[in-house]
Every structure is written in C-alpha cells, then in structure tokens.
Amino acid sequence: MVQNPKSDHTLLQLVRLVMALVSLTVVLISLAGLGYWAIDTGVYAQWLAEGEEPDEVEATPQIVDGIDTMSGLIAEGEYEIVRAACTACHSGKLVTQNRATAEGWTQMIRWMQETQELWDLGEQEAVIVDYLATYYAPEAQGRRAPLNVEEWYVLED
C-alpha cells in the first residue's frame, strides 16, 4: 500500500470541518430552541418586566394632591394606621364621606363593633379617632350647605 500523507491530511481537515459545522448547527439549534422556549413560556417577558420593577410601583402607595390614592384618605398624620384598620372591610369612601367629632367617630366604631364584627382596636383606637376627628371633623356651621327640604311631612303623634 502506498502511503499518501497529503491526502490523509486533507481527509483529516475535511472531517474536522464537518465536525465543526455539526457542532455549530447543534449550538444554533439549541439557542433557537432556548429562545423559543423562553418566549413561549413567558420567561422572556418576565425577564423584560423585571427591569421595569412593576412590584415597587404597585406596592408604593401614592399621594396625589394630598390624598392617599389607595384609600382616598387625606394623607396626613397617622393615615396609614387608619387605612389599615378602616379599609379592611369596606372602601375608604365610607369613611371619607362622613364627618364627626371624636365622640361621633367613637360611636361609629362602637356601632361597627357591636353589629359588624369590628375588632377591638386597642391602642390604635385613640390614634384613629384623633385622626378622624382632625381631618374629618364636622364642617363649620357657616360652611354647611343649606338644608334642601323638598317636602315637609307631618309627624304623627
């Protein structure tokens, strides 16, 4: 048999080239597959969203024009305690549309405790009542809109 080192060498190079191409193809297919998987399963979208930090935006209560947007409460004083205690069962609107003295607010709390299963507010009660009586105090007499009586009715005796 005649040795032909040159053709041997060429064959070896050819084999190497083919192997390199096969490896490259495998790598490319894997990358494409990974990319497709990431997009298909939402991993890519999640990864994109992580850069935007949406959680922080959601968790940060916002104050617009002095009003806490989560509850509608005036964002002054201990409003966060009031928000935690007073918007657990109903909207903050129920609170903000009312006005009363400290006594009046305490009565509303008692009423909810007796009839609506509001829990004992403990030390927070004083803080809450103080906040409510300060920021949701009865309107000054002169500023109250005149009573609009559509129809008088006769009291029965």
3-state DSSP: the chain helix, strand, coil percent, rounded to 5?
60, 5, 35
Residue 133 interacts with ligand HEC (CB under 6 A): yes or no = no
The full length of the chain comes to: 157
- Across 98-109, b (16+ Cβ under 10 Å) vs e yields eebeeebbbebb
DSSP element (H, E) containing 40:
helix 5-40
Distance in angstroms (rounded) separating the CA atoms of residues 156 and 60:
55
Nearer Cβ to ligand HEC, position 17 or 84? 84
Q: Which of residues 70-129 bind ligand HEC (CB under 6 A)?
A: 85-86, 88-90, 94-95, 98, 108-109, 112, 116-118, 128
Nearer Cβ to ligand HEC, position 74 or 132? 132
Q: How many residues bind ligand HEC (CB under 6 A)?
A: 16
CB of 137 to ligand HEC, least distance (A): 13
Residues at the contact surface with ligand HEC, assessed by CB under 6 A = 85-86, 88-90, 94-95, 98, 108-109, 112, 116-118, 128, 132
